Amino acid sequence: MSVYDLANRLARRIKESDQYKEYIEQREKVIKNEKTKEMLLDFQEEQYKLQAKQLSGDDLTAEEKDKLENLRELIELNKDIKLYLQAEYKINRMLNDVQKNVFGDLDLGIPQEEKNENNSEISK
């Protein structure tokens, strides 16, 4: 069996999993309610903006931290968003576990020692 056939089988199995089915069910609930969908998208957009700011080395202001915390509290009160985020977490955890299992033992890339040795030989 080819690697591609195995990958297609794995994709089908993931789609048949309880985690994926639960995720799709909760996503549909959020999508059907325009206000809930908008609230979730606003939260995610703000969260991504602030994460990007932190990753670029900038500190968040107290106002930005408060705004994000207020948004978190708001979405925690919305049952559909809360269930969606829980389902999203579960499917992402499963996919991360699968990725570790599939790729964890692969020996990829150039080890640092060999790279340095080769660079020394080239410069001689």
Domain 3-90 = CATH 1.20.1500:
yes
Q: What whole-number distance in Å separates Cα of residue 117 and Cα of residue 124?
A: 11
**Neighbouring C-beta atoms of residue 93, cutoff 10 Å:** 11
Q: What would the mean pLDDT of 19-38 be, rounded to a whole number?
A: 97
Confidence of residue 31 (pLDDT cuts 50, 70, 90): very high
Residue 66 has pLDDT above 70, yes or no: yes
From residue 69, give the alpha-carbon distance in Å to each of 53, 82, 90, 114: 16, 15, 23, 47
Name the one residue in this structure whose structure tokens are 């939260």.
Answer: 43
